Every structure is written in C-alpha cells, then in structure tokens.
C-alpha cells in the first residue's frame, strides 16, 4: 500500500480501526488490489492498493466520492475485471484471475453476486420475472418442473414479490419492485457474498426503507455477507458493520462503521461527514479543507 | 408588496392514451424575491410538473386551470415575444441530469456563449470573456481551457456548475432548480449548493428548489412544501418541518430515512408505494399508506387548511395529531399489512 494511502487506513494494529474479520477465516479478503486503465501517458489508476476483509455473515460498506474506485473494486471482486496487481481470496480460495471456463464461472457465481443501481438495464425486457429467476435456478441447480416453480415462488416470497408480479414483464413493475427482482435473481444462485453497488440509491425514501429492511432480514435468515457500496452515509450506518472510505482509488480510512462515522480520523472522511445536510448546515463551508 | 411568483389553484391534466389524467391538483404557493421555497416529495408526486407549468414547458395537449402570476403578469396568458422574454430572461431552469441537457458534440464554450451571441448579439471574443467570468463565479477557475472541452470530458459536478453558469448568464429573477444535486455525491452537492446560495444572495434571485431529500430542503429553503400524488399536503417554515411536521406523510418520510448518527433494528418503512394523482382512490390520497387513517379519511379529499400561522396541512386529523406524528408506532403498519 502506498504511503500516502493514509496512516489511518494502515493502522492495522488498532483493532477498532480495521475491517479484519474477528476470528475465523474471512469470507472475502482483498490485499493490495490495484487496477489501471490505459497505458503510458494515458495510464489512469482507478484502484490503488486496496486491502480489506469481510467476515462471514458480515456487512462491509464502501463509501467515497464519485470516481473513487468503488465500482471498479466491485467489478474485480466478481471477476468482470482483472486486477493489475493484488490478490482476491473468496472463501479461502484464490480468485484473483477472472474465471474463464463455464464450470469456474458457475462456481464463482455461487460464491459472489452483484446488484447494480438500475436493474432495468440488466433485465431482459421480453422475459417474465418468474422465467428470469427460473433461468438462474436451472443453471446453478439443474431444477425443472414443479421443483423449479416452487423454488421461484420461494425466491419471490423472500423479496416480497407475489405470483402476479412473477408473471409480469420488467416494464410492468415499479422501480422498487424491479430492485426486488434484481436482488432475488442475485440470491437465486445462493451466493455467500452479495455486492450491492448503489442498489438503493435511486429508490424513493419509503421504498428504500423497505428494501433495507428486506436486506437485513435476508442477511439474518441466510447468513449472506454484504459488500454495500453507497454515497449515502446514513444508509451505510444502517446496513453495514464495518466500512472503508475510498478516495482517488485508495482506502483513506477503515474500521467499525460506527467509529468511522462518529469519530472520523481522516480529513476526507470528516469532509464527507460534514457535507451531509443537517440542521444548521452551511453548504460548502468545509469545501476547501480537502487535500 | 405582492409576491414575485404566485401560483394559485393550479391543476394540470395530461393526455395519456386518449384520455386525460390529472397530474397536479390545486397547487398554490407564492415566492418573494430573494426567497427559497422547497418542493419535496417522492417520484411522481408532481414536482417537475409544477416547475414545467411555471416555465410553460408542459407536454403538448396539457390542460391547465388556475393561475400563475409572475411580477403581476399572468404567465398562462403569455404568448410570442412576451413568452420568449419570460423564458429566456426572467426564469432559468437547472435540471437533475446536466448531461441530458447538453449536446455531446458541442463544446462548453459554444453552449455558454450561444445565447449571448444570438439573443444579445455580443461579439464572439466578448461572449467568451463573459463566459470565463461566469465560470469563475461558479468556482471554475480554468475557464479558458474548459470552454474548449466537450461535456463528456467533465465530471457530473463540473458539468452541473457549467449549467448553473449558463442559467445565470441572463441574471434571472427566478431560478427553477429541479433536483440539481440528486446525481451528485455529497461533497459536490455541498459545493453546488454553496454556489447557488451565494449567487442568490448577491443577485436577490428567488429560487424554487426541488428535491426528494427532506434534510436538504430543511437546510437550504426558507419554507418547504411537501407534495404527494400531485397535491400539496403540507407547507410551513423549513426550520420547523423536522420537529413539528403537520402531515402524516411528511412525518413518515422523515422516519423512514436512516440516520447517520444511529442504526435502528428496523426502519419504519411506509407500506405500499408512492402513487400519482390519477391512480389515487377517492378521499385522502395517502390513506392506503397512513397509519392514522380512519374510515372518514376515505370519504372525501381533505382540504388544504391553515393549521397555524404560516402552517398548512391537507389532513383532516392535523390538529388532533399535532405533536404525535413522530411518536414511533408500536407495531409497524408494515408488519400488519404483511
Ligand atoms: N473501463 C474504464 N476505462 C477507463 N477508465 C475507467 C474505466 N472504468 C472506470 N474508470 C475510471 O476509474 C475511476 C474509478 O471509477 P469507478 O467507476 O470505480 O468509480 P466509483 O467510485 O464507482 O464512482 P461513482 O460513485 O460515480 O459510481 C474513474 O476515474 C473512472 O473514470
Ligand atoms: N409527458 C408526460 N405525459 C403523461 N404523464 C406524465 C408526463 N410526464 C409526467 N407525467 C406524470 O405526471 C405525474 C407527475 O410527474 P412529475 O411531475 O414528473 O413527478 P416528480 O417530478 O415529482 O417525480 C406522474 O404521474 C407522471 O407519471
Ligand atoms: S386525512 Fe386521514 S388518511 Fe389522510 S393523512 Fe390525515 S389521517 Fe392519514
Ligand atoms: Mg460506481
Ligand atoms: Mg421530477
């Protein structure tokens, strides 16, 4: 990790200030992850020496400004992007290189899945919701007939979608319902880790609360671990145990979410915290503190 | 002194598949020079339609009733040159997605100088000099370089500043800002809001500020209107909204938001989903989701009534429930419904 990445992030000795999994093997461990795009003079560093751990059944938040490398990190975790350097360990096995063979792709899919901000673009607009879920279940578990139908209905129930909605096309559903579909589809593979990249950001407040409660229930019932990416610090507080703060591709601070938000150590984390509108807020008052 | 902008009993219907659908119902408010009024609500509540009605930018075929008065003149009756002048000089709009409102193949410089060169017949060199000044006003200090760039070369925050610079070029008397910071991250939002607040102070502009973020509205607006299903449900001073909401919907919205200071075992979500005016049943539009609903609420649309000095609510139980709206429900309505 480069020296300017911040002492705070490197201060691994202080147990309260790391995301290290408490005891046992972490379900996800990332070490020195780096990603550059382009070459030579055009080379841009998107992710620069990122390290963190996620405990089995835990929930890790990634916060940071636009362009700080959150999505690029997520894409490397699910194997959509090959890291330039560093290591990704999922459930004890090295998964640094993206899977190529079908069998490996499937195995990775059963380990880790992702939900993006706008599910509409990732759903097939001519495919009914139930068929879309069924396809994933068949692929991973080879179910068919009534066993398949039952599993699809069960998935629908898990995320609060009724039979009628399972027979609908994506465009017939509201944004909140489509996000439920995206979550159900990701869970259909029964992954151990679910990445949610700004997955509740575009939702109305009342729907966002429903989905956050749903995600908490699923974690409790299924023991799925979350990597939760968001700009929204209040959402991060509600849904994660540990958090890392990224800026310019680096981790500037990490620790228990409550500690990071209540007593931010890094000036950038403090700026983020103070930028959230609150009573007596003066917009821009802190803007120039950024280094 | 009469208000700069006065909207009175505004209702709008839009043609959808051969029939008219109500999208705004009985919207009334006024705004003085230098003042900021917040319009808050979930998607489909009619915020953008309110703004588009004021700017006379409704979709074709729209049917409008009620009145909109700007500086004493009836906006709905403006035609021809008067309408053009109103749109190009008196009001400016800032949108949520600046990228959708710029042309990807035209440079920032052309975008910023076009109006000056065409409407004001300002020579190119002079227009560019003014554009650089405008960019400096919104905190962009390498303006000359930016003028030569294309929209895709700028981040969302920078591009939104360019849009603000463009909308200020004419020193409008009213800014209609439709979720100008929704697509930005919090630090950029804070910077953009600071710029808007400063310019407003300096030029005495009035601003109608639309957001779905109640905290943001409370922080930057003098007064806030909360909308639900095409109608206003609450209107009062922003400073009081958080501690003394006057409508169950505003209270429920605040409770549903997670807090940065603490984690709760369960968020008090509002059951169901937001609806548009034309989908709502008779009676109170919020009744299907309201934990205080009674049979009488479903009988007739509650009137938008004064509850106190500068305080209005569209809830028939507003006075009776005042002070209790933020008390947590014992059993959340959500679990009951499920
Ligand atoms: N395929 C690519 N080619 C070149 N640059 C890229 C590519 N993908 C991402 N980048 C760059 O990498 C950096 C990090 O981008 P990333 O999408 O990870 O940010 P983010 O933290 O997810 O931001 P946001 O909050 O806006 O989603 C940015 O500078 C981005 O422009
Ligand atoms: N061009 C249009 N034609 C028909 N209905 C529309 C059109 N634009 C918006 N609407 C409807 O008008 C209502 C209010 O929309 P809008 O003002 O955009 O809401 P908001 O900005 O509060 O999210 C919604 O029901 C929406 O579906
Ligand atoms: S009128 Fe009745 S249903 Fe409507 S907001 Fe008031 S209490 Fe709730
Ligand atoms: Mg991203
Ligand atoms: Mg809108």
Domain membership of residue A164 (yes or no) is yes
Which of ligand 3's atoms lies nearest the C-alpha of B321? 7
Residue A197 falls inside a structural domain: no
CA distance A283 to chain B (A): 5
In chain A, the number of structural domains is 1
Instruction: Return the higher-pLDDT residue of A20 and A157.
Output: A157
Best mutation site among B281, B296, B299, B315 for ligand 3 pocket (most ligand atoms within 8 Å of CB): B315
The residue-averaged pLDDT of B13-36 equals 94
Give me the mean pLDDT over the B43-53 stretch: 93
Return the residue of B nearest to A174 by Cα: B273
Q: Is the pLDDT of residue A5 over 50?
A: no
Span A249-258, average pLDDT: 97
E strand spans, chain B: 5-16, 19-31, 36-40, 63-70, 73-74, 91-94, 174-178, 206-211, 223-228, 231-237, 305-308, 311-313
As given in the structure block, the two tokens for residue B188 are 């950029």
State what percent of residues in chain B have pLDDT above 70: 97
Q: What is the C-alpha to C-alpha distance for residues B156 and B104, in angstroms, rounded to an integer?
A: 13
Scanning the structure block, which residue is given the tokens 């179910």?
Answer: A143
> Which pLDDT score, from 0 to 100, does residue A286 have?
54
Task: Tell which B residues from 177 to 236 touch A, by Cβ distance under 8 Å.
Answer: 184-195, 197, 212-216, 218-220
Tell me whether residue A41 is in a domain: no
**Mean pLDDT of all residues in B180-185:** 84
Q: Is residue A170 part of a domain?
A: yes
For residue range B70-116, what is the model confidence (pLDDT) as tens digits?
999 999 999 999 998 898 889 999 988 888 888 999 999 999 998 78
Over the stretch B262-282, which tens digit does the pLDDT of each residue have? 999 999 999 888 888 888 888
pLDDT, position A23: 60
- Residue A169 included in any domain: yes
Strand bridging mode A112-115 / A193-197: parallel
Instruction: Look at residue B284 in the predicted model and tell me its pLDDT.
Output: 97
Q: B-chain residues within 8 Å CB-CB of A160?
A: 338
Q: Is residue A144 part of a domain?
A: yes
In the structure, which protein residues have their CB atom closer than 6 angstroms to any atom of ligand 3? B 248, 284, 286-287, 290, 292-293, 297, 302, 315-317
Banded pLDDT at B10 (limits 50, 70, 90): very high
Locate B330 and state its tokens: 């014992």
Q: What span, in angstroms and rounded, lies between the C-alpha atoms of A82 and A102?
A: 17
* pLDDT tens, residue by residue, B293-337: 999 999 999 999 999 999 999 999 999 999 999 998 765 444 443
pLDDT band, very low/low/confident/very high, at A287 (cuts 50, 70, 90) = low
CA distance B97 to B94: 9
A127 occurs within a structural domain: yes
Q: Is B89 on the interface with A (CB under 8 A)?
A: no
Residue A170 structural domain: 120-190
Asked if B334's CB is within 8 angstroms of A210's CB, the reply is yes
* Distance in Å, CA B45 to ligand 2 centroid: 8
Contacts of A86 (CB under 8 A, 6+ apart): A30, A31, A32, A33, A34, A49, A50, A51, A96
Tell me what the mean pLDDT of segment B231-257 comes to.
Answer: 95
pLDDT above 50 for A290: no
Nearest CB neighbour to B220, from listed A258, A261, A283: A283
pLDDT of residue A261: 97
Question: Is residue A289 very low, low, confident or very high in pLDDT (cuts 50, 70, 90)?
Answer: very low
Residue nearest to atom 27 of ligand 2 (CA): B44
Name the closest residue on chain A to residue B183, using Cα atoms.
Answer: A202
> How many angstroms separate the Cα of B213 from the Cα of each of A233, B31, B169, B256?
14, 20, 28, 12
Q: Which residues pair with B27 in a beta bridge?
A: B10
- Is the model more confident about A211 or about B338? A211
What the block records as the tokens of A20 is 């290290």
CB-ligand 1 contact for A71 (6 Å cutoff): yes
pLDDT of residue A6: 39
| Contact check, Cβ <8 Å, A238/B258 | yes
pLDDT confidence band for A119 (50 / 70 / 90): low
Helix (H) or strand (E) holding A170: none
A135 found inside a domain:
yes
What is the ipTM metric for this complex?
0.87
């Amino acid at each position: 990790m480069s020296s300017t990445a911040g002492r705070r992030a490197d201060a691994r000795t202080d147990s309260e200030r790391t995301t290290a999994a408490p005891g046992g093997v972490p379900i996800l461990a990332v070490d020195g992850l780096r990603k550059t795009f382009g070459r030579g003079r055009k080379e841009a560093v998107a992710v620069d020496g990122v390290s963190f751990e996620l405990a089995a059944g835990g929930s890790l938040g990634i916060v940071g400004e636009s362009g700080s490398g959150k999505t690029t990190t997520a894409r490397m975790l699910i194997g959509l992007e090959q890291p330039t350097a560093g290591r990704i360990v999922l459930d004890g096995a090295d998964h640094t290189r993206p899977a190529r063979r079908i069998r490996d792709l499937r195995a990775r899919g059963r380990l880790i899945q992702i939900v993006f901000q706008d599910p509409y673009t990732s759903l097939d607009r001519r495919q009914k919701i139930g068929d879309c879920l069924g396809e994933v279940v068949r692929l991973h578990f080879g179910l068919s007939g009534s066993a398949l139908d039952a599993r699809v209905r069960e998935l629908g129930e898990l995320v609060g979608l009724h039979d009628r909605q399972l027979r609908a096309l994506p465009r017939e559903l509201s944004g909140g319902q489509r996000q439920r579909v995206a979550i159900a589809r990701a869970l259909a593979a029964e992954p151990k880790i679910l990445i949610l990249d700004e997955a509740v950001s575009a939702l109305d407040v009342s729907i966002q609360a429903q989905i956050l409660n749903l995600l908490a229930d699923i974690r409790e019932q299924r023991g799925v671990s979350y990597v939760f990416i968001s700009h929204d610090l209040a959402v991060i507080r509600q849904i994660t145990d540990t958090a890392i703060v990224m800026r310019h591709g680096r981790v500037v601070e990490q620790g228990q979410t409550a500690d990071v938000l209540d007593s931010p150590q890094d000036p950038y984390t403090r700026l983020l915290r103070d930028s959230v509108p609150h009573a007596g807020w003066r917009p821009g008052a802190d803007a120039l503190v950024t280094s | 002194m009469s208000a700069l902008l006065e909207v009175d009993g505004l209702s709008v219907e839009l043609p959808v598949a051969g029939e008219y659908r109500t999208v705004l119902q009985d919207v009334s408010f006024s705004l003085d020079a230098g003042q900021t009024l917040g319009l808050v609500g979930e998607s489909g509540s009619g915020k953008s339609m309110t703004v588009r009605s004021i700017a006379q930018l409704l979709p074709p075929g729209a049917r409008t009733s009620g009145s909109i008065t700007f500086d004493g003149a009836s906006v709905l009756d403006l035609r021809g040159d008067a309408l053009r002048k109103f749109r190009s000089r008196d009001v400016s709009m800032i949108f949520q997605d600046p990228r959708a409102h710029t042309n990807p193949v035209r440079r920032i410089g052309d975008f910023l100088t076009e109006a000056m060169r065409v409407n004001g017949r300002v020579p190119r060199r002079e227009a560019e000099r003014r554009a650089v000044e405008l960019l400096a006003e919104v905190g962009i200090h390498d303006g000359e370089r930016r003028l030569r760039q294309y929209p895709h070369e700028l981040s969302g925050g920078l591009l939104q500043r360019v849009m603000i610079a463009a909308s200020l070029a004419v020193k409008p008397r009213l800014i209609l800002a439709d979720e100008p910071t929704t697509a930005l991250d919090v630090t950029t939002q804070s910077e953009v809001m600071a710029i808007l607040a400063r310019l407003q102070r300096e030029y005495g502009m009035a601003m109608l500020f639309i957001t779905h973020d109640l905290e943001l509205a409370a922080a930057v607006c003098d007064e806030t209107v909360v909308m639900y299903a095409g109608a206003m449900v609450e209107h009062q001073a922003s400073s009081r909204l958080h501690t003394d909401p006057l409508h169950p919907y505003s209270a429920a919205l605040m409770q549903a938001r997670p807090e940065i200071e603490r984690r709760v075992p369960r968020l008090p979500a509002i059951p169901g989903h937001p609806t548009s005016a034309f989908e709502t049943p008779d009676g109170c539009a919020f009744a299907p989701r309201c934990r205080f609903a009674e049979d009488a609420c479903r009988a007739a649309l509650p009137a938008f009534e004064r509850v106190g000095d500068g305080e209005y609510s569209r809830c028939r139980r507003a006075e009776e429930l005042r002070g209790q709206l933020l008390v947590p429900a014992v059993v959340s309505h959500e679990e009951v419904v499920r």
